[in-house]
Structure 1
Amino acid sequence: MATKTDDPALITFDALPDSAFVQSATLAALFQTSGTTIWRWAKDGRLPKPRKLGGNSTRWNVGEVRQAIAKMGA
């Protein structure tokens, strides 16, 4: 059975280029919170808005997420 920590994007998040995109589940695991909270944070401006990549594919830009994390720590 796969766990949240089996997500390759989460395991390699620090090595991903700023141009990469990740799912809400990856961010939820990264922040140890729920997907609902990730969406709420995006709506509130704590996280960047996700991008629609076509069809049902919505992802967050890694570079923008890193900038948001830096602001949270400031």
Structure 2
Amino acid sequence: MKSNYDHLKESFGTNLKKIRNDKKLSLRALAAKCDLDDSQISKIENATWDVQLSTIFELAKGLEVEPKDLLDFKI
């Protein structure tokens, strides 16, 4: 059975992927813009990696959105 935290990770990852796709960015393009590894972003999108606060800010910078936009999802 999945925990509430697992659902949060899935929702965050789904939202991140939606925003990335809406901006027509590949994993590699986003990774280059925010100085992260594309495999790390993939793991976040697939809810297999615990995202840190600093990473949320880096992702937001790379996506040119506010960090709160990455957290704007239904639980």
Report if TM-score (shorter chain) is over 0.5: no
TM-score, normalising length: structure 2? 0.34
Between Structure 1 and Structure 2, which shows a larger proportion of strand residues? 1
Q: TM-score, with normalisation over the residues of structure 1?
A: 0.34
